[in-house]
Structure 1
Amino acid sequence: MASTTRIPSAPAPGDALGLRERARGALLGLAVGDALGAPAENMKPSEIRARWGRITGYVTDHPAGTDDTEYAIFSGLLLARHGSALTPAHVGAAWHELIADRAEGRFRGAGFSERGTLENLRRGLAAPISAQHRHAWSDGLAMRAAPHGVFAAGRPDEAARLAAIDGSVSHDGEGIHGGRAVAAGVAAAMAGAPVVAVVASALAVVPDDSWTARSLRRAVTAAHLGERAVRAAVVIGGYPWTDLAPEAVALAFGAYAAADGDFEQAVLTAVNMGRDADTTAAVAGALAGATRGASAIPPAWSSAITPARGSCLPAMAGHHVLDIATLLTPEPPT
């Protein structure tokens, strides 16, 4: 998908939202989408309808983020520490320090790509060899890529570069492409780019003939027809794995495009399509949150987001996504 729409390099001085508001929107939006989508993970739309009708808000008494939110916090802390100087060695060291070399605990909700990575790291392997496992194509990088877009606001290429470095420890091929697309899209949205330019930014950083690019193009082309059309254009019927990066990323961008960037519609569209609903809604929430800002998130949803519980990554317990937004968007000197 080509677009001549100009992508701003940074929010304009008169931008009513501002960088910090967009950063808070992106990361809070990610956490909200994750918590909304978690109960519908791995479900079909027909199963969602049979259980809840249409999901229009939290369906649990104590909504909480999953591994998606905790890994996004992990990547945000890594960026806050190293910035644009981030290297695969830094990422590998952080995986050892904060995940692999600690007592695993419950490690609840971790994806297969993360488990495969941990197994390789504990065997003494390092990037990129540590990413050589059966699920290197998963959406595990895409789910933690939004902080790169926040950090590199208005610089989609830089956001994609950093996401690929982050992913080099755990992902390869389409798994890297998915993370690059999400990071670039968020970076463009952080600069106030319109939806069409956000999508174009994502497509510009992945190979044109990749599965990710083909799925993304199909999703956004079908977006004006609604969520059923988006799902039909992307999902491979009968395939058992729902954490495919090309599928999850395309569903998220399709939901975002179908809603024309509206936060509530984007996230609920992603949730009600099922499949890897926590990740697709988290990515859609990050894109729409960066586009519309934190104030666009319904207060009843945002107020439920508390510091991470450490259910998957114990070292992330106590960190709040809004603190990460602050770390990644320091106030300019006065």
Structure 2
Amino acid sequence: MGAGAGEATPAAEPTAHETSAEPNEAEAFTESDEAEAFTEPDTDEAMAEPGGQEALAEPNEPTAMTKPSEPTATAEPNEPTTTAEPSEPTTTAEPSEPTTTAEPSEPTVLAEPNAPAAADGGDAPQGPPAPDDDARTGGAGGNDPAEGEAEAADHPRRRQATRTGGAGGNNRAEGEAEAGKNLQPPQGLAEAEADTHPHRHTHPRLHPRRAEGLLLGLAAGDAAGWPAARHRAARMPDWTRRLTRELDTFAEQNATTTLPVPIALNQPPEPLRLGPSDDAEWAAFAAEAVLRAGDDTALGDLSRERRTRAAIDLTWNAIAGEVAAAADRAPEVESAVLPLRARISVRAGLGNLAAGLRPPATGHDNPHYFDDAACVRACVLAVAHPGDPRLAAELAEFDARYTQDGDGVHGARAMAAAIALALVGADAGTCVAVALAELPEETEIGRNTRHALKLAQDAESAFALVPLLEHQIVDHVYSYGIAAAETVPVALALALASDGRIAEAVPAAACLSRVADSAPALAGALTGALGGGEAIPATWRDTCRTLSGCALPRLTGTDLVELAELLEATQPPPPGG
């Protein structure tokens, strides 16, 4: 990343499965007239999976497709994160290190090395086991470790991450030194970090309308970002998007500064009006699993946590079955027409599932393992464990490993932990502190978040923080602005700088154009949960409560206010009540 160093403890680079084009990221992947702009002359071959199966092919794209920082060692689900044990508080020998005595980020020890965590000591729903031959493939498309490492080191985005260092440094040593100076948490966070699980043993209840604030805040942030208009334009006829691209080419060739926007012409313009898009719909996708688990008659005689994980697994495998069926109908995987629009990480993960892989391999062997797709889903999964950031983070990781690894998983854990406390009335500082505890200091997302929170501490307001985040956190090299190592730090910093006020956090996040696809939605989810449904202006509530189906057509017409009420209704009764 331009603002953060690569991972300090790199693992093998995940094999870059070729994944089908993500239409909402770059329409050139699906429209032939723009294909030339994204054609890469030398495309790596997909890793040959055991049994000769291949995952979805990755689209021809700029060389900046692969994440610069390699997944951390935490990709192995049976290795707990290396943070302080609850009984061993962090010493003050290093003044810049955040002090924490209650550690929310320590995952439970997993029963099987190649499977996501199972609840209550039971086994998670299983399919074909994940292959443990990652070393043979070499990562990054290599056929052996040496080849994979050489290819990963030679990738331009990886070279850029090593060169720029962390937290805005001009080289690796400078970046690490600067990041080290910024590890001290902002004023007020140290006290909150001293007890990051204040509600763990009190069985807190979800505060009224907090789930509504969460969903509507996420949807409002999603709608506020400029990419939402392009996502919603997917509901328009193909020729309208083709004309937009032609007008953009005209402006480029004729040096005009009048830039085109999505157009309707003689078509109904309703899809192009302000409203939620892909982030809100994938959040509703995650809510379906929570609702299914809340039905005591579903999924047999299982504990609630095991039902939730089983429901997540069933949901992912059902949609992977649709991917497999579409691939069977197509002459080749790349041309398969799927009944959804999704991030590259999600399409690659679904392709891996369809090919017989299981988590964590579906997220590890993924060209966009680092993005924030799982962070959006994690916001909603936190509703399953209000007041318990540890369990919320573990559930978020279980889901995240279907599509992510490394920082993508860390970011999901952080967002789930923060929102779990926001749902029961914690303040912004406490929520940010518990999120920070989920982000290891040696990771890019951990360094960026600590630096962003230091900037937030010194900023006069959320709006005043925008230029600092733009220049010191947001990357300007990579071709997509969806890295969790950027969007999560931005969301947490703006939530802190705004003191949890959604009316300040979301507009500020939308000003950061490079990360406007997710950062406003993440900031809106957290601040919406902090303020509840009453914090959402009536105009935004009316505009953003209904999904358009631009990413998941089957969710067209879903009412987020009603969905929030259903989520609240699935909460278990209090003990003895």
Task: State the TM-score, normalized to the length of structure 1.
Answer: 0.85
Q: Which runs of 4 or more aligned residues in structure 1 lie more than 6 Å from their structure 2 counterparts after TM superposition?
A: none
Please identify the structure whose Cα radius of gyration is greater: 2
1:252 Cα deviation after fit:
1.0
Q: Secondary structure at the match of 1:125?
A: coil
| 1:32 partnered with 2:271 | no
1:40 Cα deviation after fit:
7.3
Letter in 1 for 2:344: F
Q: Residues 168-247 of structure 1 correspond to what in structure 2 (within 5 A)? A: 168-223=401-456, 224-225=458-459, 226-247=465-486
Contact 2:320–2:351 (8 Å) recurs in 1: no
Residue from 271, 292, 296 that aligns with 2:531: 292
Q: Which residue of 1 aligns with 2:547?
A: 308
Q: CA separation in 2, counterparts of 1:278 and 1:227? A: 16
Q: Which residue of 1 aligns with 2:362?
A: 130
Q: CA separation in 1, counterparts of 2:470 and 2:228? A: 15
Q: Which residue of 1 aligns with 2:389?
A: 156
1:192 Cα deviation after fit:
1.7
Q: Which residue of 2 aligns with 1:323?
A: 562
Identity in percent: 34
Residue from 182, 188, 191 that aligns with 1:4: 191
Distance 1:166 1:38, change over 3 A: farther
Q: Residues 54-65 of structure 1 correspond to what in structure 2 (within 5 A)? A: 62-65=273-276
Farther off after superposition, 299-308 or 24-33: 299-308
Residue from 66, 74, 77 that aligns with 2:285: 74
Contact 1:41–1:275 (8 Å) recurs in 2: no
Residue from 309, 314, 320 that aligns with 1:93: 314
User: Per-residue displacement from partner, 1:48-106 (whole Å, max 9, x unpaired)?
Assistant: xx98xxxxxxxx96222222111111111112222522576643431232464165556
Query: Higher relative contact order at CA 8 Å, sep ≥6: structure 1 or structure 2?
Result: 1
Contact 1:148–1:163 (8 Å) recurs in 2: yes
Q: Secondary structure at the match of 1:300?
A: helix
Long gaps (5+) in structure 2: 1-97, 100-189, 231-257, 260-270, 294-303, 327-336, 460-464
Q: CA separation in 1, counterparts of 2:497 and 2:226? A: 21
Distance 1:65 1:195, change over 3 A: same
Q: CA separation in 1, counterparts of 2:368 and 2:514? A: 17
Q: Residues 82-121 of structure 1 correspond to what in structure 2 (within 5 A)? A: 82=293, 83-86=304-307, 90-98=311-319, 100-101=321-322, 104-105=337-338, 107-108=340-341, 110-121=342-353
Farther off after superposition, 197-206 or 229-238: 229-238
Q: Which residue of 2 aligns with 1:46?
A: none
Q: Secondary structure at the match of 1:30?
A: helix
Contact 2:400–2:409 (8 Å) recurs in 1: yes
Letter in 1 for 2:281: E
Q: CA separation in 1, counterparts of 2:535 and 2:489? A: 23
Q: Which residue of 2 aligns with 1:248?
A: 487
1:263 Cα deviation after fit:
0.7
Q: Which residue of 1 aligns with 2:130?
A: none
1:315 Cα deviation after fit:
2.9
Q: CA separation in 2, counterparts of 1:179 and 1:148? A: 10
1:324 Cα deviation after fit:
3.0
Between Structure 1 and Structure 2, how many residues are aligned? 315
Task: State the TM-score, normalized to the length of structure 2.
Answer: 0.51
Q: Secondary structure at the match of 1:241?
A: coil
Contact 2:292–2:311 (8 Å) recurs in 1: no
Q: Which residue of 2 aligns with 1:20?
A: 208
Q: Which residue of 2 aligns with 1:57?
A: none
Long gaps (5+) in structure 1: 43-49, 52-59
Q: CA separation in 1, counterparts of 2:306 and 2:470? A: 38
